[in-house]
Structure 1
Amino acid sequence: MIPTPDLSHLTKEDYKRVYEPAEDTFLLLDALEADADAIRALAPRVCLEIGSGTGIVSSFLGQIVGASDALFLCTDINPLSTACTARTGSQNKIPIEPLVASLARPLTSRLRHAVDVLVFNPPYVPTYEVEVDAAQRNGGISGSWAGGTDGMQVTDAFLRQVDGLLSPLGRFYLVAVKQNNVPKIKNLMSEVFALQSEIVLQRRAGSEHLFVLRFAR
């Protein structure tokens, strides 16, 4: 079993401003662990996480891949999240490079077809469109959950970037809830971008039915 990254350096004050790991986070960790052998077989050179929050996911991925074997990049719209991500990387001896950015926009040219492992636990909660616009603009903690119509507004924007980022053998892991219409996501990525998908894990957590999807060429 791969140990959960140490977050003992984070405080209650941090969690007032940065998304605290919850059921969706741990489902994603479990999915990555389930695929650990296949991920290692890729010998990843570049790993990219969108919306890194505390940095727990990238630190976990670093434990799978090996801290010295890949470049670990992260983005988040919340500067407090990128600060926490950097601290979590240091705490767990994973050299993470966080960047304050929306999705992967500053990296799309530099990382074109170069990302071997791409991870996104998006803001997937259905909200009014005005809420997600404000959350993305303000760069605060609400940006970690406010997803707009069907919870898909931010996810839809990123799905258009995935094909350009993934390396020929790259894998993309996406967290979704049932309200996001998982079959529609799978069909879109297959028909428009020729990316095939599988549900790696799914789990009920209270009122939510969570999924982790894996996409590859």
Structure 2
Amino acid sequence: METPYQNHIDKADFEFVYEPAEDSFLLIDALEKDLQYLRNKNPTFCLEVGSGSGIVITAFAMVFPQSLCFSTDVNFKACVMSKSTAAHNKVILEPVTMDLASCFKNQFEVVIFNPPYVVTDSDECGHVNITASWAGGEKGREITDKLLNTLPKILAGNGTFYLLLIEENIPEEVIDIMSKKGYKSEIVIRRRVKNEQQLVLKFYR
């Protein structure tokens, strides 16, 4: 998978929108590693929750131009940037400003989420500004767990969910939560970055 063109983005915009970092590129690497699996599924409807700059869903759309790709972000500026990133890479993306995927009734064959995973006080998470991109509350999982509760409503029966976590998020608990909802799991990729052990989990029925 190609890394999308990003030179159109003004660096000053990253005061308001999460700047692509190691976790963003790890998620792209995970999708690339799973590319044959995804090609076999030939997904029609795909969604990235919390798209930030839009580089992950754009990288996906560049490989699957026939897919209808959507993104959400609680931060309107992130939705504008995601749309711009897609346009500069000549792919079609429909960004929607919303909390997680709360307004969707669609069922997506692929859902991608790089959540705010930093362990913080609860009152630091749930904002609509740049803080929303990293503050995860207790266990760094408050936003993630909120999406997990609604995931069966937006993920198609044959769908696949890709989730980036760090060890502090206690991935084993996430696997257990999803197992109780009827999902199998795999670790697609794992990498130590500075002081973080990052990994991407894949869930499917």
Q: TM-score, normalised by structure 2?
A: 0.98
Q: Where do 1:53-202 residues align within 5 Å?
A: 53-65=52-64, 67=65, 69-107=66-104, 109=105, 111=106, 114-132=107-125, 136-137=126-127, 139-191=128-180, 193-202=181-190
Instruction: Determine the structure 1 residue equivalent to 2:194.
Output: 206
Query: What do the CA deviations read for 1:57-82 (whole angstroms, capped 9, x no partner)?
Result: 011111222x2x11111000111100
Aligned length: 205
Query: Percent of aligned pairs with the same residue?
Result: 39
Consecutive unaligned residues in structure 2, runs of 5 or more: none
Deviation of the 1:164 alpha carbon: 1.6
8 Å CA contact 1:50–1:74 kept in 2: the answer is yes
Give the SS at the match of 1:32. Answer: helix
CA distance in 2, matches of 1:33, 1:63: 12
Give the SS at the match of 1:105. Answer: coil
Deviation of the 1:168 alpha carbon: 2.1
Q: TM-score, normalised by structure 1?
A: 0.93
Q: Which amino acid aligns with 1:204?
A: R
Q: Which amino acid aligns with 1:126?
A: V
User: Runs ≥4 in structure 1, deviation > 6 angstroms?
Assistant: none
Q: Which amino acid aligns with 1:159?
A: L
Deviation of the 1:197 alpha carbon: 0.4
CA distance in 2, matches of 1:22, 1:190: 30
Instruction: Determine the structure 1 residue equivalent to 2:4.
Output: 5
CA distance in 2, matches of 1:45, 1:3: 20
Give the SS at the match of 1:194. Answer: coil
